[in-house]
A = this chain, B = another copy of it.
Amino acid sequence: MFKKILYPVDFSSLTERCMDFIKQLKGSGVGEVVLVHVVDTRYASSVSWAFPENFMEDEAGLKERLTEKIDPIKDELEKEGYKVNVRIEKGNPFVEILRVADEENVSFIIVGSHGVTHLGKFLLGSVSEAVLRNSKKSVLLVRK
């Protein structure tokens, strides 16, 4: 039985489509959604050296801004009756997503994929692809 799911929030155009899936899953016994947003810090140190003025924002300020962006998503799910847990992490997105998935012991992860084609193949998106490839948990890949 799946009870708890992880949705990595990226504010992409697929958010609405992923939310539709999550809402419908309510009926199947899922009761809790963990929303995670990962601040990608892989290139931060080199970029901040080159453009220090862009990185003056303190971490508390960044966290506050992100929380404000995630709040409507949280509210929407709570209105559906979900228990919602918001986590803001820093690091390499897919690594953090999989770490949180393990820590929270979720049943599966929902990721979006734009399905852009390149040379006749759909591209999955680098974070979604890395999650699919490396996750020990089941993954729902949501297409446009």
Q: Which residues of A come within 8 Å of B, CB atoms?
A: 1-2, 20-21, 24-29, 108, 115, 121-122, 124, 132-143
* Contact for A28 among B27, B137, B141, CB less than 8 A: B27
- Minimum CB–CB distance from A117 to chain B (whole Å) comes to 10
The answer to whether B24 and A2 touch across the interface, beta carbons within 8 angstroms, is yes
User: Which residue of the partner chain, among B124, B133, B134, B138, contacts A21 with CB atoms under 8 Å?
Assistant: B138
- State A140–B5 Cα separation when bound (angstroms): 13
Taken together as a complex, chains A and B put the C-alpha atoms of A51 and B137 apart, in Å, by 41
- 20 CB contacts below 8 A, A to B, read A1-B24, A2-B21, A2-B24, A21-B138, A24-B29, A26-B28, A27-B27, A27-B29, A108-B140, A122-B133, A122-B135, A122-B136, A124-B132, A124-B133, A132-B141, A135-B143, A136-B143, A137-B143, A138-B141, A138-B142
* B137 A140 Cβ-Cβ under 8 A: no
Q: Complex formed: what's the CA distance from A133 to B28 in Å?
A: 27
Chain B contacts for A28, CB-based, 8 A: 24-28
Complex Cα spacing A136 to B24, Å: 20
